[in-house]
Structure 1
Amino acid sequence: MKERTRHPDPSDAPSSRSKAGRDLKSAIGVGVGLGALTLLCMLVFPILWYPLVAFFLGLGMWEVCTRLRDKGFVIPRALIIVIGEAMIWASWPFGAKGLVAAYVLGVLALMYGRLFRHGTHSAPHNYVRDTAVGLFVLTWIPMFGAFAAMISRIDADGATPRGSLYIVTFMLCVVASDVGGYVAGVLFGKHPMAPAVSPKKSWEGFVGSLVGGIVVGTLCVTLLLHHLWWMGPILGVLLVVCATLGDLVESQFKRELGIKDMSNLLPGHGGVMDRLDGMLPAAMVTWLILTIIHSTGAV
């Protein structure tokens, strides 16, 4: 009997894709570039932190609104981006009060704009659905993201502003959480955390994130901020929990829209929101804890 010739399978070829399904070479290259840009803004030109955050949040809003419009949602993309940027920049001089004021004005603009989209003689269709989704986008991206920008303003009125130290603390904790979760998930991940939402996220990865966040949070609070060590584990745990829930929210968002990535803007990562999903809610709780640390004074 003639032996059947086996044709090569493309999947047999060496691949740079990781167990998580990403192109590691591209992902690492883009990650290093983004990290270098962030460090430049944090340490060399700290005044650029706000523009950097505003720029990436603007891209995130564009991605999400575009995806929603592709699926039939009536979303005023330009208006949402304008409102979102106004929220971010209002927090520069006015802090949380400016952020909330801009958010409320944006909510009114969305509610009334959607109500009269077709004039006063034509009833809107899917009004509640589209308005609710618009409010979700404003809350999810610019509301949470503005707290990342405001971390740089925590000590803005001090004799020696230490905003860069707070930003470094936030970013190092985020990186430690991501790396710890990735390594533990790839090496030991066997028990899915929420398989109906994100099948690849495991409890082992969550534990790895906790370890990374707690260790780095403790080191940063102790060595950089010179505060009581036990504030570090609190910061690490809350940041990791919020980041994990943020990942799950985006996973469910993409699942309902039937998409894998928000866009292809970042090779090896997907879209901007595929990188910011966990950082946004984590930024809010980090701002809160670091504000408490600052208000209680250094030890």
Structure 2
Amino acid sequence: MPVQESPVAQPDQQPRKPRGGRNLPAAIGVGVGLGAVVAASLFVVKAVFLVVVAAAVAVGVWELTSRLSERKSIHVSLPPLLIGSVGMVVTGYFAGAKWAAAILALTGLALMVARMSTPPENYLRDITAGVFTAFYVPFLATFVALMLSADDGAWRILLFLIVTICSDTGAYAVGYKFGRNKLAPTISPGKTREGLAGGIGLSMIAGALLMQYVIEDGRWWQGLILGGCAAVTATLGDLAESMIKRDLGIKDMGTLLPGHGGIMDRLDSLLPTAPVVWVLLTAFVGG
């Protein structure tokens, strides 16, 4: 009697899920909407973009302090932090970096005083978290306001945004297709060295084109340097926030932006890149 062979089980042909479990259509829709808001505010009235930056900073500060409170019982006095945050961004635009730094110092002092209204247990921990938040979110965002304050500020902001976005896009595309070697597996398992190379390459190309054709007195080789540096800092910023979220035991900082998470989940690569781009633009073409 012939032996009947059992059929060989075929692996389930499941469509590949988007990285991070994101809702891709929602993410694209929100991204396009944010891009439209940025473009409209930048090239219609520059001061409107300043309001957009201040609002994003305020929401980012609220998200970060809320997660610190929920996950680590770290309590930061929100009123002086929000006032100081908006003050840094606005002062940076109208008065320059040194006055923004002064507002940062005053914000730290205000946080120390405000915390005195509660028992002294964990005083140092709470103050340290508050000063870190003041530096990490509004002070770094102040460099966006400094770029905006230049005569060609709208174009500088456009350059800054595009090279950062190209870093993320190039890293995702190349890493998704060719990624084999993990970049930082204990922090962000999805990132690869190949992806980093792709992000740096695309950001350098974008930087060279924009510096040559958009920024007055800019040169293509300056854009190569700027794009490469921006891609590195954008990646480090992304990894830094991943460290914070892993320490807090959360996936996203918030749920405000469908498909993206919270505001801080979109600012993670932009914040540390802003001072680097500002310094390089100032060095290459002046303030």
TM over 0.5: yes
String of CA shifts for 1:133-187, please: whole Å, max 9, x gaps: 1111111100101111221112xxxxxx211111111111112112111111211
Q: CA RMSD in A?
A: 1.7
Offset at residue 291 of structure 1 (A): 1.4
1:247-258 residue pairs with structure 2 within 5 A?
247-258=238-249
Q: Find out whether 1:217 has 2:207 as its counterpart.
A: yes
1:177-256 residue pairs with structure 2 within 5 A?
177-225=167-215, 226-256=217-247
Q: Which residue of 2 aligns with 1:7?
A: none
String of CA shifts for 1:229-253, please: whole Å, max 9, x gaps: 2211110111111111110110010
| One-letter amino acid of the structure 1 residue matched with residue 121 of structure 2 | H
Superposition TM-score, scaled by structure 1 size: 0.87
1:29-40 residue pairs with structure 2 within 5 A?
29-40=29-40
Q: Which residue of 1 aligns with 2:165?
A: 175
Q: Find out whether 1:136 has 2:132 as its counterpart.
A: yes
Q: Is 2:93–2:148's contact at 8 Å kept on the other side of the alignment?
A: no
Number of paired residues? Answer: 274
Q: Which residue of 2 aligns with 1:105?
A: 106
Instruction: Show structure 1 runs of 5+ residues with no match.
Output: 1-10, 155-160
Q: Which residue of 1 aligns with 2:5?
A: none
Q: Find out whether 1:148 has 2:144 as its counterpart.
A: yes
Q: Find out whether 1:44 has 2:40 as its counterpart.
A: no
**1:268 alignment partner, SS class:** coil
String of CA shifts for 1:105-138, please: whole Å, max 9, x gaps: 0111112332x223xxx5x111221111111111
Offset at residue 92 of structure 1 (A): 2.0
| One-letter amino acid of the structure 1 residue matched with residue 171 of structure 2 | G
**1:262 alignment partner, SS class:** coil
Cα distance in structure 2, aligned partners of 1:44 and 1:191: 44
Offset at residue 21 of structure 1 (A): 2.4
Cα distance in structure 2, aligned partners of 1:43 and 1:34: 14
Q: Which residue of 2 aligns with 1:264?
A: 255
| One-letter amino acid of the structure 1 residue matched with residue 61 of structure 2 | M
Cα distance in structure 2, aligned partners of 1:87 and 1:153: 14
Q: Is 1:20–1:186's contact at 8 Å kept on the other side of the alignment?
A: no
Cα distance in structure 2, aligned partners of 1:21 and 1:190: 20
| One-letter amino acid of the structure 2 residue matched with residue 183 of structure 1 | A
Q: Is 1:92–1:150's contact at 8 Å kept on the other side of the alignment?
A: yes
Q: Find out whether 1:57 has 2:57 as its counterpart.
A: yes
Instruction: Show structure 2 runs of 5+ residues with no match.
Output: 1-11
Identity of aligned pairs, percent?
Answer: 38
